[in-house]
Amino acid sequence: MRNSYMRAASLAPFILACPPAFAADAAQDEIIVSGERRDALSEALAEKARRPGNVDVVPLEEYQDRYVATFRDALALTPGVIMQPVAGEDGRLSIRGSGLAQNVHLRGVELMLGGVPINAADGFGDFQELDLLFASHINVLRGANAFRIGAATLGGAIEIEPLTVDNVLSPAALRVEGGSFGSSRVNGHVSHDFGRFDALAAATWQRQDGFRDHSHQNNQRAYVNLGYEWSDNVRTRFGVFYNNIDQEYPGAVTLDTALNDPSAANAGAIVQNWQRDIDSVRAFTNTAIELGSGIISFGGSAAYRELYHPVPVFLIQTAQDYSGFLRYDGAGRIAGLAAEWSAGLRVRSTRNNADVFANNNGVIGFQFTDSVQRSDAFEVFGEGRLEIFPDFWAVAGLGFIDTSRDYDNLVNDAGDARTSFSHTNPKFGLLYIPSENLQIFANVSASYEPPIFPDLTQGGIAGFQPIKAQDAMSYELGARGTLGRLTFEAALYRQQIEGEFVAYTTTPGIPAAVFNAADTYHQGVEIFAAYRLYENGSGLSVIPRVSWSYNDFSFDGDPVYGDNRIAGMPTHFARAEIVVSNDKLRLAPYVAVQAGDNFVDYANTMKSPGYELVGVEASYDIASNISIFLEGRNLTDEGYALNYSTIADASAPGANLSIYTPGEGRAIYCGVRIGFGGGR
């Protein structure tokens, strides 16, 4: 079995979507990246190579020469993943059309940090509590490919593997950068391996005036990671993240304003001083025990979070979040066949004290609601992998979720409510490895996504609404590998959904009213390709790379909307670049394109226009431990709409059309990275 999986793992170097300068080389028992051993990344690459589905591993090296603030920056070349920022790190994150009902905040994708979820127990969350410069790498597990960690959402999961002493490129480092719109950021870390004990501390200070009016931000983040080896077979890690985030919200505007006066803010955002400020502390721990037949891992997290969020109303919240997990991974032989198996459970609980007040021109007014929102979840999952023929693997799994929502209205007991949801999700997949350079895969699986509290309470003001869970069956077929000079990954998928969450925005800044659609479907194509066009003996290479997502998301015989397209996502989203590099210099001009139907309303009467954004990335290694980088974005200064809230019918009399978020104009960013203490 080991030899078979090593053949699978040997594909990892060819399918890693990162610049050639950071490409991995295979060895018999490990994968080397940049000439250094990085255990967590090696394991992620090996796991990718044995997944019967389209997954990606994106190392820090892929995005460290950009001004990276959001997943749009870090996952720019990851097809199927589309991030449309609204303010700061916030915005709509969608994988294969998940979460289209929400153009802000986190839903439909489970965000994992150090093995534990960032999302609350009801599935809701915030991007602002992440600093991607604290990550060693990012695992993108689309849809059912997140089954192995217990996630059951339509979009799957994104795992953030944080920096540790084991995976940093230098024991200490400093990064200083700045650029357009008053942007500046300082990031650094220090670490040391004391033997059985190791420690790392990192921090980021960031400020930005913002491209738009009323979009200033000033953020401080800190992170500590401690590790201890109790013995050669038992290891524990403990981490703490701290966030102090102050961000103004410029709000949505009309399409005309977005295209012709993009720096303008919504007038109400200025008068009412819209913001989303978060103070949070999140601690996590995990312990791994290596046994003769496998590994037992367990751990959990605890978080405290304060939210100050004036929009047309004041949302003021304090939340406590707890989670725990237990998992077993083993390997052996069954009836003489190579096999692997895993099983686990997770428990999660969130208590949110939520107050809603009137916003009297930026001053807290009458209190509408004082409530306690509690969500609990219990999840159990198991998966088995069997090599039924040489280099032909079958994967089967089963997951179960049981979750509840408890709403305690402290102003009016008659408004108390409670509901629960439970479901069993199966999965089956096939993986064929015809050669060391090629894999072919297929899978079918179920997903299940209960409504979050903002759905049930319609933004925290109303009592529970009759919102059902969203469930789906997903089908996927694809391949990845290398053919001569071509490296590629490609997937075709279809998701048949019952009760998809759809949202009709009625008032700017107020969370949209969410409803269940009848039958809908999502289908699409995901392609990444890189071609080694030119290489010579002196290290010069020219490699074009392209990432393309085709999105076809539609109603299926809806009583109101027929077979209309579902609002919220363009038909085509692509990025193409040409990477020219040698041992010291990397230059990558690129173009990002959004095209095709991109309806903002379910009646399909109004579209958000497409765009083509031209940019360039460049970096130069002054010395082995000093690099400078420069990035230019939207160099033609094109006016475009980056995001919008979905509405029912844009042609209806009195329809609110202040729903658009303008994209940023021409921007230049530069920075320097310095490593101290030598490379690992």
Sorting pLDDT into bands at 50, 70 and 90, what band is 512?
Answer: low
Q: Give the residue-averaged pLDDT of 620-636.
A: 96
> Is residue 243 one of the residues assigned to a domain?
yes
Q: CA–CA distance from 122 to each of 77, 372, 374, 646 (Å)?
A: 30, 14, 9, 22
Residue scoring higher pLDDT (21 or 254): 254
Mark out the alpha helices in 223-323 (DSSP H runs): 255-260, 267-271
- CA dihedral defined by 329, 334, 339, 344, rounded to 10 degrees? -30
Contact status, residue 384 vs residue 339, Cβ threshold 8 Å: yes
CA distance 223 to 243: 9
**Degrees to nearest 5, angle at CA 92 with 518 and 260:** 110
Give the model's pLDDT for residue 94.
95
**What pLDDT, on a 0 to 100 scale, did the predictor assign at position 11?**
38
From the list 244, 240, 198, 248, the residue with the least C-alpha distance to 223 is 240
Q: Give pLDDT, residue 358.
A: 95
Determine the Cα–Cα distance for residues 488 and 500; give it in Å rounded to an integer.
32
Gap between the Cα atoms of 600 and 607, Å rounded: 6
Specify which of 47-51, 145-149, 660-664 reaches the highest per-range mean pLDDT: 660-664
* Per-residue pLDDT, 372: 95
Q: Is residue 417 part of a domain?
A: no
What pLDDT score does 507 carry? 62
In single-letter form, the type of residue at position 471 comes to D
pLDDT given at position 35: 38
Q: What is the pLDDT of residues 85-113, one digit of tens each?
A: 998 889 999 999 999 988 888 899 999 98
Torsion of CA 111, 113, 116, 118, to 10 degrees: -50
- Is residue 300 helix, strand or coil? strand
Structural contact between residues 591 and 573, judged by C-beta atoms closer than 8 angstroms = no
Return phi, psi of residue 73, to 5°: -75, -50
pLDDT per position as a tens digit, 376-387: 999 999 999 999
**DSSP conformation class of 99:** T
C-beta separation of 219 from 245 below 8 A? yes
Residue 504 has a pLDDT of: 80
Tell me if 143 sits within 8 A of 53, measured CB to CB. Answer: yes
Alpha-carbon separation of residue 602 from 58, 346, 477, 500, 555 (angstroms)? 34, 37, 29, 13, 9
How far is CA 664 from each of CA 102, 362, 632, rounded to the nearest angstrom?
A: 21, 26, 12
Which residue from 535, 597, 527, 608 is spatially nearest to 564, judged by alpha carbons?
597
pLDDT at 168 over 70: yes
Say whether pLDDT at 670 is over 90. yes
Q: What is the mean pLDDT of residues 549-570?
A: 96
Q: What is the mean pLDDT of residues 572-593?
A: 97
Cβ(351)–Cβ(408) below 8 Å: no
Whether residue 6 is predicted with pLDDT greater than 70 in this model: the reply is no
* Paired tokens of 110: 């489970």
Q: What is the pLDDT of residue 510?
A: 60
What is the token pair recorded at 278? 């978060």
Cα(545)–Cα(17) distance, rounded to whole angstroms? 9
Task: Measure the CA–CA gap between 401 and 149, rounded to whole angstroms.
Answer: 13
- Report which of residues 654 and 508 the model is more confident about: 654
Residues 6+ apart with CB under 8 A from 484: none
Task: Taking residues 601-624, report their average pLDDT.
Answer: 96
Considering the domain boundaries, does residue 604 fall inside one?
A: yes
Residue 44 sits in a domain of what CATH number?
2.40.170.20
Taking the C-alpha atoms of residue 286 and residue 331, their distance in angstroms, rounded to an integer, is 21
Q: What is the pLDDT of residues 399-422, one digit of tens each?
A: 999 999 999 999 888 888 999 999
Distance of alpha carbon 669 from the chain centroid: 23
Distances in Å between the Cα of 268 and the Cα atoms of 253, 489, 511 are: 10, 45, 15
Beta strand residue intervals within 335-437, DSSP E: 337-360, 363-389, 392-409, 417-435
pLDDT recorded at residue 3: 36
Please state whether beta strands 486-498 and 501-504 pair in parallel, antiparallel, or not at all (unpaired).
unpaired
Q: What is the pLDDT of residue 10?
A: 39
In whole numbers, what is the pLDDT of the chain averaged over residues? Answer: 90
List the domain range (segments joined by +) for residue 69.
2-411+422-676
Residues 6+ apart with CB under 8 A from 255: 608, 609, 641, 657, 660
Reduce the DSSP state of residue 297 to 3 states and report it: strand
Task: Indicate the SS3 state at residue 87.
Answer: strand
Strand partners, 93: 83
pLDDT in tens, 262-302: 999 999 999 999 999 999 999 999 999 999 889 999 999 99
* Contacts for 463 with CB less than 8 Å, ≥ 6 apart: 407, 409, 415, 417, 457
Give the closest residue to 668 by CA, choosing from 636, 630, 628, 629.
630
Is the backbone of residue 634 left (phi > 0), alpha (psi -120 to 50) or beta?
left
Dist CA 216 CA 209 (whole Å)? 4
Output the pLDDT for position 16: 38
Dihedral (C-alpha) 466, 467, 471, 472: value to the nearest 10 degrees?
A: 110
Whole-number Å distance between alpha carbons of 154 and 399: 14
Give me 526's structure tokens.
């995901």
Specify whether the CB–CB gap between 8 and 50 falls below 8 A.
yes
Whether residue 144 has pLDDT greater than 90: no
Cα–Cα distance measured from residue 431 to residue 441, given in angstroms and rounded to the nearest whole number: 5
Look at residue 323 and tell me if it is in a domain: yes
Confidence category of residue 508, pLDDT binned at 50, 70, 90: low
Domain count, the chain: 1
Summarised one tens digit per residue, pLDDT across range 25-44 is 333 233 334 434 346 788 88
